[in-house]
């Protein structure tokens, strides 16, 4: 833990829908699983404790690797940490001699450790550098805010932040950066708050713009699509995919992907009977349930972060993985 995290005494990440994810993956002795979002290792540990299996744990945040070292001592030879992106999981594992796995878990978004560490720049409540890079490298939120055009800013704030007042926020950002470039999170939060009033829902007006920037900085939706396709390549027939998402944009990507891969979106029209055409032969996944699994009231009350969580589970069929993307994913 770095100095500012220690100063803020950030609580460790509480895994969301943990029991449901483990139950969905049905870990078995001798099985091989991917935890594409290691974080604090909540899912990884639960899988390793549920069966004598092995877990390949991936995370793009360099700080996650240090946390995995402690756990590796507890699960020698069964826990393997791989630094990188889950969108590359098939290649990352192939490089390590693994071509098929029994289950893949993805817990999308940022961890409590990342949000609570003001030096990472995700928080609009605590001042820190306007950073938001999970990988600690590449283009930062400050780079985007200080250099993108008003139109580009407005587009991402509207699309990724679902902010009704995106144009106004973008205009205010562009006007303010002429006076002083944005380097700190609270500078940006204050400019947004001066522009957009807090609604009846009580949500801080900076929430949506910060979400948009985080998604853009880390290309989160693009990564999610790549991760789903990589899981399709890596899962053996009968292998299970469990994806936990936290907002409608992410859930839509997962839902659209599974719909297209389970054949539902491949039918030319809703009037075409499902048994016509080659849908069942080419479907690479079978959705385990139509509706997403959501937290119990008890979990939502105990962990506010869990409130918007949705888990979708699907089983890999024996059809070969698809190279193109069907069903509306860009």
Ligand X SMILES: C[S@@+](CC[C@H](N)C(=O)[O-])C[C@H]1O[C@@H](n2cnc3c(N)ncnc32)[C@H](O)[C@@H]1O
- Residue 251 sits in the site that holds ligand X (CB under 6 A): no
- Residue 257 sits in the site that holds ligand X (CB under 6 A): no
Say which DSSP state 202 is in.
-
**For residues 72-101, which are near ligand X according to CB under 6 A?**
85-87
Return all residues near 3 (Cβ < 8 A) that are at least 6 apart: none
> How many alpha carbons lie under 13 Å from residue 211 in its C-beta half-sphere?
20
CB of 208 to ligand X, least distance (A): 19
User: Quick one: 13 or 165, whose CB is closer to ligand X?
Assistant: 13
CB of 21 to ligand X, least distance (A): 8
User: Quick one: 191 or 311, whose CB is closer to ligand X?
Assistant: 311
Which residue among 32, 54, 68, 111 contacts ligand X (CB under 6 A)?
A: 111
296 with 310: CB under 8 angstroms? Answer: no
- For residue 11, the SS3 value is coil
Choose the stretch contacting ligand X; rule: CB under 6 A; options: 70-78, 106-114, 146-154, 247-255.
106-114
User: Quick one: 31 or 87, whose CB is closer to ligand X?
Assistant: 87
Could you tell me how far CA 217 lies from the centroid of its own chain? 13
Reading the block at residue 112, the tokens are: 């409590």
Give the residue among 73, 80, 72, 75 at the shortest CA–CA distance from 50: 75
Which residue among 104, 134, 213, 235 contacts ligand X (CB under 6 A)?
A: 134
User: Quick one: 110 or 228, whose CB is closer to ligand X?
Assistant: 110
CB of 176 to ligand X, least distance (A): 30
Q: Is 35 exposed, middle or buried (0-12, 13-18, 19+ CB in 10 A)?
A: buried
Q: Which residue of the chain is nearest ligand X when measured via CB?
A: 42
**For residues 7-36, which are near ligand X according to CB under 6 A?**
13, 15, 36
Count of residues touching ligand X (by CB under 6 A): 23
User: Quick one: 13 or 80, whose CB is closer to ligand X?
Assistant: 13
Give the residue among 202, 185, 35, 9 at the shortest CA–CA distance from 102: 35
User: Quick one: 17 or 166, whose CB is closer to ligand X?
Assistant: 17
**For residues 31-70, which are near ligand X according to CB under 6 A?**
36-37, 39-43, 58-61, 64
Kindly give the interhelix angle for 150-159 and 166-179, rounded to the nearest 10 degrees.
Answer: 140
Sign of CA dihedral 189, 194, 196, 202: positive
User: Quick one: 61 or 102, whose CB is closer to ligand X?
Assistant: 61
CB of 167 to ligand X, least distance (A): 29
CB of 193 to ligand X, least distance (A): 27
Q: Which residues is 311 bridged to in the sheet?
A: 244, 293
- For residue 329, the SS3 value is coil
* Per-residue binding letters, 262-301, with ligand X (x by CB under 6 A): ----------------------------------------
Choose the stretch contacting ligand X; rule: CB under 6 A; options: 104-112, 151-159, 191-199, 256-264.
104-112
> How many alpha carbons lie under 13 Å from residue 225 in its C-beta half-sphere?
16
Angle at CA of residue 215, ends 212 and 220, nearest 5°: 155
Residues in the chain: 330
Separation in Å, CA 22 to CA 4, 69, 149, 207: 33, 22, 44, 31
Residues in touch with ligand X (CB under 6 A): 13, 15, 36-37, 39-43, 58-61, 64, 85-87, 107, 109-111, 134, 223
């Amino acid at each position: 833990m770095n100095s500012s995290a220690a100063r803020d005494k950030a609580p460790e990440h509480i895994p969301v829908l943990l029991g449901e994810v483990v139950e969905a993956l049905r870990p078995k002795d001798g099985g091989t699983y991917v935890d594409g979002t290691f974080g604090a290792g909540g899912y990884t540990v639960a899988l390793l404790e549920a069966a004598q299996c092995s877990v390949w744990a991936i995370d793009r945040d360099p700080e996650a690797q240090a946390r995995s070292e402690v756990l590796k001592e507890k699960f020698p030879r069964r826990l393997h940490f791989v630094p990188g992106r889950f969108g590359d999981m098939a290649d990352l594992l192939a490089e390590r001699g693994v071509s098929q796995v029994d289950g893949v878990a993805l817990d999308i978004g940022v961890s409590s450790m990342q949000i609570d560490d003001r030096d990472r720049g995700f928080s609009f409540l605590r001042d820190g550098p306007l950073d938001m890079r999970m990988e600690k490298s590449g283009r930062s939120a400050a780079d985007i805010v200080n250099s993108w055009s008003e139109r580009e800013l407005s587009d991402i704030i509207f699309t990724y932040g679902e902010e009704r007042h995106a144009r106004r926020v973008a205009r205010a950002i562009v006007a303010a950066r002429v006076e002083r470039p944005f380097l700190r999170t609270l500078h940006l939060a204050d400019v947004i708050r001066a522009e957009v009033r807090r609604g009846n829902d009580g949500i801080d007006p900076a929430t949506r713009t910060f979400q948009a920037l985080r998604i853009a900085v880390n290309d989160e939706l693009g990564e999610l699509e790549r991760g789903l396709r990589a899981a399709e390549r890596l899962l053996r027939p009968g292998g299970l995919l469990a994806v936990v998402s936290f907002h409608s944009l992410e859930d839509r990507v997962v839902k659209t992907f599974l719909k297209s891969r389970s054949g539902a979106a491949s039918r030319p029209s809703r009037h075409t009977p499902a048994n016509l055409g080659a849908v069942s032969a080419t479907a690479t996944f079978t959705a385990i349930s139509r509706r997403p699994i959501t937290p119990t009231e008890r979990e939502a009350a105990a962990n506010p972060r869990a409130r918007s969580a949705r888990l979708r589970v699907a089983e890999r069929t024996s059809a070969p993985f698809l190279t193109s993307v069907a069903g509306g994913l860009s």
